[in-house]
Amino acid sequence: MNERLFQDCIDAFTIDRAALAHIAAAFRRDIDLGLDDPGASSLRLLKSYADLPDGDETGEFLALDFGGTNVRAVRIALLGNGRYETRAKAAKPLRAPGAYDLTAADACAEALFDFLARLIGEVAAPGQSCLLGHTFSFPSVQSNLYDARLVSWTKEFATPGVEGEIVNDLLTCALRRCGLSGIRPVAVINDTVATLLAAAYQTPDTRIGSICGTGHNTAYLEPHCGRALPRMILNLESGGFDRLAPNRWDTRLDAQSARPGQQRLEKMVAGRYLGALFSHALTDALELSAPPRCTTEDLSAILADNSPRLEATAALLRRSAPSLSAEAVVWSKALAETIAVRAARLTAATYAGILWHLDDAHVAPQQIAVDGTLYEKLPLYKEALRQALCEILGPEADRARVALVKDGSALGAAVAAAVAARA
Ligand code: BGC
């Protein structure tokens, strides 16, 4: 084992306080630029046509959460005063290895949307007429709350026939084909917007919603969207931020991805990619002939392994490198930690950039709502994110409470449907 190689890898994934502050400032500048001239920014700042809810929205709604590994359909009653009740739910994976894969290039839009419609059918009361909110977690351009048109797939989705289409039109047709024409999709929102709506429904001082899961992205409430436009939530598509200094493993991963050059931040911080990044770095650190194929779940298991002799980590890594020494196992764990911590630090820098954009030097007391498996479950992640915010913002960081808001996608979709019904 060559310690030097490991140390080089670890150094290349380490981001110090000065670099963090630099990234936060660049992120803020990209928001400012994008508001004036969308072409000048690497952020998309997509309009959601949604404002924050009052918290007193009521009624029963259907919600569809489509955007990651699993699709969920939920029947939710909003009870007002930030309260709600989940009345039915169903979830299914979009890929079942060996059986089907609705996200692949050889799948088709009709099959995908029929699958979604049937899942909605499982939670709707028989013959029910109901409004549906749809959390669709891919970059989409809208001119109102209904008409989201998919710009391009992310997270390695490749189903043909959806890019460029109005996703709720595809869903409405599928619902009709499945005999569910009483169900009317009325609102489409991104999952970051949904997380923000869900959190704000319950905790009014929320202005930022973010997802740190399979994919990564953040939305915030922009008070000045331009002339003649009301304040509204903007979906930054922050995974596309590219004022960064990728290292050679970031570059390799990007080159081998479905869409090289796109989603550069996302490929450094999101669950879809962290395992692969670790595998690429390990290949060079251990001088292996082929990447060891570690998943993000493996990375998580390694981070959780606090046993004195790192047995779980050793067993996992020796699947690909059978003669790995005990010392190399220790170094590999340190590398895994550095990659996870970098993801959290980069994400924190983007939050600081948004806070600076909104509040300048004096951060207003507020909640930042975050959902996603990395924030919820990846060891070290939460702590590293908070630490980075403190490094960038100093004592002002205490005013920004980062909180896990679980399952905001479904509640947020129901809130959006309620807001659409009121309009
Ligand atoms: C998508 C975003 C989404 C994020 C989290 C990204 O790949 O482009 O729209 O919010 O994943 O699901």
- Our answer on whether the CB atom of 140 is closer than 6 Å to any ligand 1 atom is no
Distance, in Å, from the CA atom of 283 to the CA atom of 292, rounded to the nearest integer, reads 7
Ligand 1 proximity of 371 Cβ (cutoff 6 Å) = no
Best residue among 237, 370, 375 to mutate for probing ligand 1, ranked by most atoms within 8 Å of CB:
237
The DSSP-derived string for 129-177 is -EEEEEEE-S-EE-SSSS--EE----TT---TT-TTSBHHHHHHHHHHH
Handedness of CA 352, 358, 360, 364 (dihedral sign): negative
Question: How much is the pLDDT for 1?
Answer: 83
Residue 290 is predicted with a pLDDT of 87
Task: Provide the pLDDT for residue 300.
Answer: 98
What is the CA(168)–ligand 1 centre distance, in A? 18
CA of 87 to the centre of ligand 1 (A): 27
Is any ligand 1 atom within 6 A of the Cβ of residue 155?
Answer: yes
pTM to 2 decimal places: 0.95
Q: What is the pLDDT of residue 226?
A: 81
Q: What 3-state class would DSSP assign to 36?
A: helix
Do residues 253 and 276 make contact, with C-beta atoms less than 8 angstroms apart? Answer: yes
Amino acid at 4: R
pLDDT at 423: 75
C-alpha 263 – ligand 1 centre gap (Å): 10
Q: Distance, CA 155 to ligand 1 centroid (Å)?
A: 7
Closest CA to 171 of 131, 118, 113: 113
272 C-alpha to ligand 1 centroid (Å):
11
Tens of pLDDT along the chain (423 residues) come to 899 999 999 999 999 999 999 999 999 999 999 999 989 999 999 999 999 999 999 999 999 999 888 899 999 999 999 999 999 999 999 999 999 999 999 999 999 999 999 999 999 988 889 999 999 999 999 999 999 999 999 988 999 999 999 999 999 999 999 999 999 999 999 999 999 999 999 999 999 999 999 999 999 999 998 877 899 999 999 999 999 999 999 999 999 998 999 999 999 999 999 999 999 999 999 999 888 989 999 999 999 999 999 999 999 999 988 989 999 999 999 999 999 999 999 999 999 999 999 999 899 999 999 999 999 999 999 999 999 999 999 999 999 999 999 989 999 999 999 999 887
Q: How far is the CA of 247 from the centre of ligand 1 (A)?
A: 23
For ligand 1, atom 8, the nearest C-alpha belongs to 138
Does the C-beta of 218 come closer than 6 Å to ligand 1?
no
- How far is residue 315's CA from residue 329's CA, in Å, rounded to a whole number? 10
Q: Which atom of ligand 1 is nearest to the CA of 68?
A: 12
